[in-house]
Amino acid sequence: MSLKKGEELTLRIDSAAFKGKGVGRIDNIAIFVQNTTPGDLVKARIIKKKKKYREAKLLEVLEPGEKRIPPKCKHADICGGCSWQHIPYDYQLEIKRDQVTDHLQRIGGFKDLMPNPVIGSEQAFHYRNKMEYSFGDRRWLTEEEINSGKEIKDKDVAVGLHVPGRFDRILNLEECYLQIPVSYQIMDFVRSFALENDIPPYNTIKHTGFFRNVAIRNSYHTDDLMVNIVTYRDNESIMNDLKEKLLQSFPDITTIVNNVNDTKSPVATGRYEKIYYGPGFIRDSIGPYTFKIHSNAFFQTNTKQAEKLYDVALNFAAIQPDDLVYDLYCGVGTLTLYTSSKAYKVVGIEVNDVAIENARFNAKENEVSNVEFRLGDMKDVFKDELIAEFGKPDVIITDPPRSGMHPDVVEKLKDLRVSRLVYVSCNSSTMARDLAELAEIYDINEVQPVDMFPQTYHIENVVCLTLKK
């Protein structure tokens, strides 16, 4: 069988692959199909042909597998926010563990290394503490709408999430189960406000319009609720009117800010910010530490699971009272502070200057005096000069970005030969690559997956490494 692009076929899905796609095989050629689950018999169309595999679009589920369930959200088949809603949560955790195992064995070469069962989230829905909804003037139309022949009156105003792979198309959300319900309700209110007042959304091609994003933050441990309206222009008249109406309908809102992004950059942050109501930030905590969270500050998206993740890291680190700890890729210092009570001193290193400012502020706010932070690219800062300034660490915690660690950083970790090393990862494939190098010096003792993002294929891991004897 040639399996050419555009060809339709019937396929039995027999396993799940990384990034959440189901996999079937014809003539030993793997065919990846989104929105499927093992056991499904599907009709699909080849959309991409590669030498060793094909990618296909799901056309119809002819026979659902035993594990398939109806998605909770009506947008699940199109939206990229929750690509696994058709899979029961306990089975999601099994698949995620299998994927980590595959990466450890296939990429890392650890044939006998098995990760622990995944630590699941208490909340399978409504677990996010932040959502960024996008405005657009090109609404994604369903096949039913296109084939109906009817005029689509609201096709020029959409608010929701980008359709996967399409920066220019917005899926107009009519429900969402990622954040607490009021999040979607506020988003829908702002959409109605725009339509009623004929205020156009931002156009990414012409760079015209007003509304760009609605971002909602809520605190897990307090009642704080932030609404951040990202606009292309500064217009106090529109914003004051929107503020008054938002507060009338949603009195639980504690702060409203306006980020003005008058650049071509598509990010949901502004070149400058104006506060229209409240303090301009919310507060939340991880463990005993409280954090002031501004509209553009990074904070772990699943607060409760972040505490579980940090507890695992702290347990693996086995920090002693006189230990010097290095926290590589420390971000805003949440994990740095979390470990500080156990250590003599913790040094955090981060490339983002805003994150470092926030980290220093967080340390001061929490009256933590045994932490220091250094700004710079890890491969440039994590060198002998840093060791000479602070001393050789007893424990290192590293939490790199999805791309993993730079080879120079890996070599420095091998050279330092610290007694205990904890690797926190958001990408098990690059983690496995890095661990294969570190295994020359360190024993890989334990791998603990922690699910921060239910209904998606993403999985965090914490790895315990100790120096070989």
Which residues form the catalytic set? 426
Residue 20 to residue 110: CA distance in whole angstroms: 23
Neighbouring CB atoms inside 10 A of 6's CB total 8
Q: Are strands 22-26 and 41-49 parallel, antiparallel or unpaired?
A: unpaired
Partners of 128 in beta bridges: 179
- The sign of the CA dihedral 273, 274, 279, 283 is negative
Cα torsion 175, 179, 180, 185 to 10°: value is -40
CB contact set of 272 (below 8 Å; sequence gap of 6+): 259, 260
Return the exposure string of 148-165: e unless at least 16 CB atoms fall within 10 Å of the residue's CB, then b. Answer: eeeeeeeeebbbbbbbee
Radius of gyration of the chain (CA): 24
417: Cβ contacts below 8 Å, ≥ 6 apart: 441, 467
Closest CA to 119 of 308, 334, 317: 308
